[in-house]
A and B are shown apart, each in its own frame.
Chain A
Amino acid sequence: MSVIEAQGLNLTFQTNDGPVHALRDVNLTIEKGDFVSFIGPSGCGKTTFLRCIAGLEHPTGGTLSVNGMTPDEARKARAYGYVFQAAGLYPWRTIGGNIRLPLEIMGFSKEEQSERVKKTLDLVDLTGFEKKFPWQLSGGMQQRASIARALAFDADILLMDEPFGALDEIVRDKLNEELLKLWARTEKTIGFVTHSIPEAVYLSTKIVVMSPRPGRITDVIESTLPRERPLDIRDSAEFIEIAHRVREGLRAGHIDD
């Protein structure tokens, strides 16, 4: 069953220097339970596409459906949780309070709020940090808290815009591993924007390679890796082959310039 479906999607920004084609003729289907990575150089429209799915940007042409609805309807139905590059936790709220934020806005009862905060903290391995303030946590822990915040209201879709982009590689590896476990436990559909080829290959069931000017999809790679992925799978021949194909796809996009 397809969760997200884009057909002939176009998005043109009108700027002072004339129109900018952020997305041109994007066709993509994301199935339920997929882990889809969007990879490409800056300006290829990967973040823009994710924001279109979230209803934060509005396409100027083509059709896009999320859970069979328009992106705006899906947003209003709280169909997805969104994780930004910066954790963006409120400094005046504790970790628990931050996770409670969407629950308060969506009108969950007090008991259910507490219950869900506990559950999601456990899910991202932050049990015991509920009463801490964000500045008391490391960058990686803050980003985990922001993932917990996106998971708290139990949307089927998780959209992540370079969530680990600002973290160092060691922390990033650990979080990638945890994210895969979390995905296996929750069976969410995940859209994940990244700059990193190993990250994309390690995490995804489907890798969408994009290229800029105009932003478009140049290749969609279905990963043949098993769902269970230890970190050392990155040294396997299969992994290297997929990474190679991604790299070729990125290069092909650039030759067009």
Chain B
Amino acid sequence: MTKVGPILTVVLAIMALWYVACIPMNVQETLTAAERAGAVVTPDNARARAEVGRFSLMLQNTETLAGSWSVERARLPAPHQIVAELWDSTWTEEVYGRRGIVNSGSLSNKSLIYHGWVTLSATVVGFAIGAGLGVLLAVGIVHSKTMDMSVMPWAIVSQTIPIVALAPMIIVVLYSFGIQGLIPKAVISAYLSFFPVVVGMVKGLRSPDAMQLDLLHTYNAGQGATFWKLRLPSSVPYLFTSLKVGIAASLVGAIVGELPVQRGGLGARMLGGSYYGQTEQIWAALFFAAGMAALLVALIGWVEARTLKRMGVQA
């Protein structure tokens, strides 16, 4: 709990900076809104104001800037506007909305809960595939020199290709085989998450030192016993570290996979928001995704803590 203080301090600092940044970012929209409401603004028309820099506009209209934090479709919505949007598109939409779960019996396609669920299911399936594949590849790499030489370079190369470029191709190729919906997104998310698992797991499986291996050699232990009794338990801390990186990467993969398809999900929601200038919607989806990532990482952290405790690691 000693972490709360420092974290809160950083959050407050970011908030303060954010509110300050809203003023120059939104000055054009703020003044236009004030003008419409009947206030005196200099210069007195939007076209003339577009020619003037943000900061001189601020200096010339110091009295009309209070609206900076409540502009609709602001360039930079204020934090409380984003929180309000988050509330509206989750609780209010589901509980009071016509299409919400309370009134229609199914999640509303306008709510972040629905879109979050779409993204989450692709993330979890993709992560399971990616992590499983990563562990298998790592076991192969550690036990076979050929695999070490052939697979590892390709695994590294695979991560140098920008996923934004690759994602549409994966979707198109899979679509031509009649596969669409969750699976293509899961494939993209597996593509991003297998790599940290491979790297961490290879390092973990190779972490026993020469003495540990010599000891098993004196027992005339085979590869199987060495793997199950020494290599695998030694790799557990490494595995969890890479699983945490991997699940966050999975979420990014799922979101990227939703951008070109526009059939729901947080990625679709973000891109939709940017098409229609709904900045609050973009930010709300972004924070929802960040919150989901934090929860997923925390979940793995919890499993890790329990596993390590069972393995007798000093708390």
- How many residues on A have C-beta within 8 angstroms of the other chain's C-beta atoms? 24
- Chain A contacts for B225, CB-based, 8 A: 104-105
Instruction: Please pick, from B212, B219, B312, the residue contacting A78 in the complex, using a CB distance under 8 A.
Output: B219
- Chain A contacts for B236, CB-based, 8 A: 92
- Whether the Cβ atoms of B219 and A105 lie closer than 8 Å is yes
Query: Which chain B residues in 281-315 approach chain A with CB under 8 Å?
Result: 311-314
- Chain A contacts for B211, CB-based, 8 A: 84, 86, 88
Digit string of A79-117 for contact with B (CB within 8 Å is 1, else 0)?
011101010101111100000011011100000000000
- Whether the Cβ atoms of B218 and A80 lie closer than 8 Å is yes
User: Is residue B233 within 8 Å, beta carbon to beta carbon, of the partner chain?
Assistant: yes
- Whether the Cβ atoms of A82 and B215 lie closer than 8 Å is yes
User: How distant is the Cα of A90 from the Cα of B233 in the complex, in angstroms?
Assistant: 9
User: How distant is the Cα of A212 from the Cα of B311 in the complex, in angstroms?
Assistant: 43
- Give the number of A-B contacts (CB < 8 Å): 52
Instruction: Please pick, from B215, B217, B220, B313, the residue contacting A88 in the complex, using a CB distance under 8 A.
Output: B215
- How many residues on B have C-beta within 8 angstroms of the other chain's C-beta atoms? 19
User: Is residue B98 within 8 Å, beta carbon to beta carbon, of the partner chain?
Assistant: no
Instruction: Please pick, from A75, A133, A135, the residue contacting B218 in the complex, using a CB distance under 8 A.
Output: A75
Query: Which chain A residues in 46-64 approach chain B with CB under 8 Å?
Result: 54-56
Query: Which chain A residues in 65-84 approach chain B with CB under 8 Å?
Result: 75-76, 78, 80-82, 84
- Whether the Cβ atoms of B312 and A133 lie closer than 8 Å is yes
User: Is residue B214 within 8 Å, beta carbon to beta carbon, of the partner chain?
Assistant: yes
**A66 vs chain B, min Cβ distance (A):** 12
- Chain B contacts for A78, CB-based, 8 A: 219-220
Digit string of B204-233 for contact with A (CB within 8 Å is 1, else 0)?
000000011011111111000100011001
- Whether the Cβ atoms of B221 and A90 lie closer than 8 Å is no
User: How distant is the Cα of A23 from the Cα of B288 in the complex, in angstroms?
Assistant: 67
- Whether the Cβ atoms of B312 and A105 lie closer than 8 Å is no
Contact A92-B217, Cβ < 8 Å, known A84-B211, A105-B225, A135-B314: no
Residue among B212, B220, B225 with most chain A CB within 10 A = B220
Contact A102-B312, Cβ < 8 Å, known A84-B214, A86-B211, A90-B233: no
**B165 vs chain A, min Cβ distance (A):** 43
Instruction: Please pick, from A75, A101, A104, the residue contacting B220 in the complex, using a CB distance under 8 A.
Output: A75
**A89 vs chain B, min Cβ distance (A):** 10
Contact A54-B218, Cβ < 8 Å, known A86-B211, A88-B212, A90-B230: yes
User: How distant is the Cα of A81 from the Cα of B211 in the complex, in angstroms?
Assistant: 14
Contact A92-B229, Cβ < 8 Å, known A54-B218, A56-B217, A75-B218: no
- Whether the Cβ atoms of B218 and A101 lie closer than 8 Å is no
**A53 vs chain B, min Cβ distance (A):** 11
User: How distant is the Cα of A78 from the Cα of B211 in the complex, in angstroms?
Assistant: 18
- Chain B contacts for A54, CB-based, 8 A: 218
**A67 vs chain B, min Cβ distance (A):** 15
Give A153's nearest chain B residue, CB to CB: B219
- Chain A contacts for B212, CB-based, 8 A: 88
5 interchain pairs (CB within 8 A)? A82-B214, A92-B313, A105-B220, A105-B221, A106-B219
For the complex of A and B, list the 3 residue pairs with the smallest distance between their C-beta atoms, beginning with the closest: A92-B311, A133-B312, A82-B218
Instruction: Given A54-B218, A84-B214, A90-B230, output 17 extra A-B contacts at Cβ < 8 Å.
Output: A56-B217, A78-B219, A78-B220, A81-B218, A82-B214, A84-B211, A88-B212, A91-B312, A92-B312, A93-B312, A94-B312, A101-B229, A105-B216, A105-B221, A105-B225, A133-B312, A135-B312
